[in-house]
Structure formats: C-alpha cells, structure tokens
Structure 1
C-alpha cells in the first residue's frame, strides 16, 4: 500500500509538497529549497560552515498518528530519485540516533548510498556498491522485510543484509535534506552535525505492507 508519494513537481515559491498517495501526508518545504516544477534542489552548505538552518533546508512530513509512515514490524519500501555531486549528507530519515522507537535513515558517506533500519533492539544497515555522487540521476530503492534489508540502485540489487530490523515506530517527522534536531556548536560533533544534503530529488515514495 502506498503511504507517501511526494512528486516534488511544485512550482517555484511553493511551500507545500503535495502527497499524491491519498493519505494527505503533505510536506512543508523549507525556504532554501528551490522548486522548478519538475524536482526539488537543495543548496550546498559545507560542513565547516557552522550555521544551523533548521527547517529552512528541509522538506518535513509530520509523523502520522495512525502509524502509517512508520515501518512497525511490517514490510516497508522507500524509493526516491536523486542527483548529487557531493559525498556527504543525510538524504532522508525518520528519527535520529537516540529517537525513542528507532530510526530509518539514508545517507551518502564517501558518495555511496546507505540504507538503515534501526529498532530499539537491533540495527540492519547496508551500503551501496555503486558510486552515486556522480552528478547523474539515480533511483534508490530500499526494501525492508522480515528477513533482510535490500538496497537497489537503478533497478539493480546493489547490496543487502540478511537480518531482521525489529519494530520501528517513533514520533518524529520524515525529514528530506538533513537533520532537524542538531546543534552545529557542539564540540563533540562540530559543524557537520546537521548532515545537510546538497543536490536534487525528483520524488520520494513509500509503501507499507
């Protein structure tokens, strides 16, 4: 069942990313994000910049009270189309490392996409074998089932981990483009603690069950 379908084809100046799934899970578009009628573009903020932008650099989809945007213990699939030339940034996530109820996260360390499902009890993560920060459009798809987390790039299985990732349900929003709860002044994490994504995203889709 489709639970989220952000086509990100809003015109310039739009403040709402419309959910075409029928569930009404619309996203709030931050003022730094450039919409052009076809895709969304995130501007680049180097990790050393040290400025907190909060929701300005994000598209944020609120948590659904009915739990439809959380994996829970069900099969859960996430797919998006992206383009980037930078080897860092959190592309998509629900919750952060200490979130009660677990976390789901996509990031691109060294230019390779990784997909992680983490419950309070267990973590299952896999990293692409395909370099994706090459300035080309790539379709990223991660499928979580009871037996594995499988990561596909452009329709081809790139990597997987055969492991159950538990029951995941938190009260946090889905954020596209980085973290919302972060502090660039912390000496332990420094200016890169927000993990801001630079690049383009064409759509974001999710299925549950």
Structure 2
C-alpha cells in the first residue's frame, strides 16, 4: 500500500513546518486504490472497512499515465445540460465517512490540466448536518469544511493543473483546517467548524444533486490515482 499522510502530523500542517509521510495506521477509514480494470462497476476499499463505491459508466478505468494506473474523468462543459450521473463514483452513506467532531483528513493523488471541478465531497452547501469538499477552481485546490459552528476553507496559493501528478491532503482538526500539496503545507485557517455529520453519500468527480441549470454539477476533469480518508 502506498505511504499516506496520517493525522499524526496535523499539528505540523497547521504550524507550517514540513510534513512527513507515514504508513497508514489504525485511523484509516477508507483507501480506494482505483486500480480496477475497464468494465468494473465497483470501487474497492482496501482498508478492510468495506466502504466500496459504485463506479459510473462514464468513468475511465485502467488508465495508465506516468507510471500510475487510476481513473479518468473526461471534461464536461460546465453548467450545460444534461447531467451526467455516470461521471461520478458514489460511496453509500456511512457514519464512518462523516468527520463528526474528530480530526479528519482526505488525501488523494491527482493529475489534471482542467480549471474547475469538485474532486471529493460528502454533502453540498445546503446539506443539513454540514459537508466537506475538495475542489479545484482555476486549477487551485480548495479544501472546505462546514459544520455546526461555521465554515473554514484552505485555498492553495498556486495552481497545480500542469499535467503532473500531485498529492493533496486536506485536514480538519480542533484548531483549524490545513491544505498540503506534495508533502508541504501551503494554506491553513485557524478555528473550529464544529460537528459535521450528514446522511449523504460520498461522491468523487462532482455533485450528486444538480441539474446543470440552477445548480451546476461541477464535474471534475482529470485523473485520480487514489483517495484515502483517515481519522483520529
């Protein structure tokens, strides 16, 4: 299994010192390696927790680029009907995927030349119980957590839509939210979001509830090598 950033280093993330990589530990909630072959419809969770997902029919599988095999999400015109539910990977709702009041981290490896899109999220901006998401408007990663005490966002100061692979980690702890790219903290906000817990599935590749008219689906365009969720 690839070496992942764990919540043991969240303090250094928030203080701005370089963060180290550690092997996944007991706090692993889900690890989706995204190594399925073309024709598969189930995204396997190799954490042992059984949080498998449903792969939409428009998601490219078994795509190998620069030594990594993962999923490909083709570009779709923003705010232009029809919707494309097959563009998404959907993991059914499970309380283990909710941040709750715990320390919480999402790590993923992406490659894109796109300028927009929601990469991973659970819930949307008006969802009861709060939500979190990672998106990449203008090629700059944004990490957002909304709980019963407010919203905190960490926004990368530079774009990473250069066609190279990048590892992104988004962390929420009791003292704030932080964002790291390729092992280095790039942004953070201090504060406390409060509890986040909703009954929505986790989606990869865009929004679940959208119509491309009044609510854009914000479909991600690019490749994903893996996604993990960890808590402490």
Task: State the TM-score, normalizing by the size of structure 2.
Answer: 0.84
Distance 2:166 2:126 in 1: 30
Matches within 5 A, 1:1-209: 1-36=27-62, 38-54=69-85, 56-64=86-94, 67-186=95-214, 189=215, 193-209=216-232
Distance 1:102 1:80 in 2: 22
Gaps of 5+ in 2: 1-26, 64-68
What is the number of residues matched between the two proteins? 201
Q: Runs in 1 of length 4+ with deviation above 2 angstroms?
A: none
> CA contact under 8 A between 1:41 and 1:201: conserved in structure 2?
yes
Q: Secondary structure of 2:156's partner?
A: strand
Distance 1:180 1:79 in 2: 21
What displacement does 1:91 show?
Answer: 0.6
Distance 2:189 2:39 in 1: 41
> CA contact under 8 A between 1:116 and 1:126: conserved in structure 2?
yes
Task: State the TM-score, normalizing by the size of structure 1.
Answer: 0.93
